[in-house]
Amino acid sequence: MSKDNFLEVRGLKKYFDADRPSFFSREPRYVHAVDGIDFQLRHSEVIALVGESGCGKSTLALLLMGLEEPTEGAILFEGRDITHLNDNERKGLRRKIQMIFQDPYESLNPTQTIEEIINEPLVVHGIGNNKNERDERVKKAMEDSGLKPAEVYLQRFPHELSGGQRQRVVIAAALVLEPEILLADEPVSMLDVSIRAEIINLLAELRITRQIAVIFITHDLGSVGFFADRVAVMYLGRIVEIGTMLEVLEKPQHPYTKALISVIPVPNPRLRHERIILQGETPNPIDLPSGCRFHPRCPLAMATCKASDPPFITLSKTHQAACLLLVK
């Protein structure tokens, strides 16, 4: 294993129990939320996980955070298997992997002040010998997150802040632990367009100033364009294409990636183009389609797609896609 791969995911699966179709049926059924995911993350790298709802990206985030127990597979951090740690063993690790959420209003406790919110991780981990030391760290995290000057915000409550400010508070509460990986689950999709750029810029900046690796989970391929190093496209619990940002955006190989890219709205009416609009909706992850799970919606599906599950085809050192059309 390369020394660089400080986070590695191998064959990760998570099945949830589904309701039985009837009282008398004996066969258990599962929601295949995450169904065999492999990828690596390097130091201070930004990887974007892109997919529509139901592709398993949020479950994957919970698995990486250790907030859900995987059904199968392994997660390695700096070469150490962290898949099945108990609460105590995980606690130290939590300082290194932090998460920010989609809805900054929901992810702040309305009864806590901003200071209490950002100070809380320090209390939980017993960091800082005295109050001054903790105050210093809180202040630094806040200023790094663009909440300047910190004193203005300390005694306020979340409802007194705007959406963008709240998301900065969430980021500060993650930064205060000085993490090495930041998992961002749709961090800008609830924010106004003029605010989104600020938050994305902030994340891009942090990765340079603090050497933080970012796993950026989103349904919007458009928003990853400018700062992701690599992009992984997910469909029904699996990665269907992974590559560097330019490879995926400019030379997409999987029909699903191609369709996704074609429907990204382009803010210029002169560049209106033919869009590949897939019919129907993502099937439910209980009864998965046979063979290639994308075949019922694939505009290029062949007879063989129904029967065999496509392997990952290596297209370049960094670019892979799972599609039978690519088998030469």
Q: What angle do CA 235, 236, 240 make, to 5 degrees?
A: 35
List of residues 6+ apart from 130 with CB closer than 8 A: none
Q: Is 130 in the site for another protein (CB under 8 A)?
A: no
Nearer of residues 264 and 327 to another protein, judged by Cβ: 264
In whole angstroms, what is the distance from residue 168 CA to residue 108 CA? 11
Dihedral (CA of 112, 114, 117, 119) sign: negative
Choose which of 69, 78, 151, 160 interacts with another protein (CB under 8 A).
Answer: 151
Choose which of 281, 287, 306, 307 interacts with another protein (CB under 8 A).
Answer: 281
Q: Is 42 in the site for another protein (CB under 8 A)?
A: no
Q: Which two three-digit tokens encode residue 268?
A: 């210029």
Lookup result for tokens 């997409």: 252
- Contacts (CB under 8 A) with another protein, residues 188-207: 192-198, 200-201, 204
In whole angstroms, what is the distance from residue 248 CA to residue 237 CA? 19
Nearer of residues 98 and 320 to another protein, judged by Cβ: 98
Choose which of 27, 87, 209, 303 interacts with another protein (CB under 8 A).
Answer: 87
Q: Is 112 in the site for another protein (CB under 8 A)?
A: yes
Strand partners, 238: 235
Binding window for another protein (CB under 8 A); candidates: 15-23, 27-35, 37-45, 304-312: 15-23
Choose which of 38, 72, 135, 178 interacts with another protein (CB under 8 A).
Answer: 135
Nearer of residues 209 and 279 to another protein, judged by Cβ: 279
Q: Is 115 in the site for another protein (CB under 8 A)?
A: yes
Q: Is 296 in the site for another protein (CB under 8 A)?
A: no
Q: Is 175 in the site for another protein (CB under 8 A)?
A: no
Q: Please, are residues 143 and 150 in contact by the beta-carbon 8 Å criterion?
A: yes
Binding map of another protein across residues 50-79, x = CB under 8 A, - = no contact? --xx-----------x-x------------
Q: Please, are residues 5 and 40 in contact by the beta-carbon 8 Å criterion?
A: yes
Q: Please, are residues 263 and 36 in contact by the beta-carbon 8 Å criterion?
A: no
- Contacts (CB under 8 A) with another protein, residues 210-239: 219-223, 225-226
In whole angstroms, what is the distance from residue 239 CA to residue 322 CA? 8
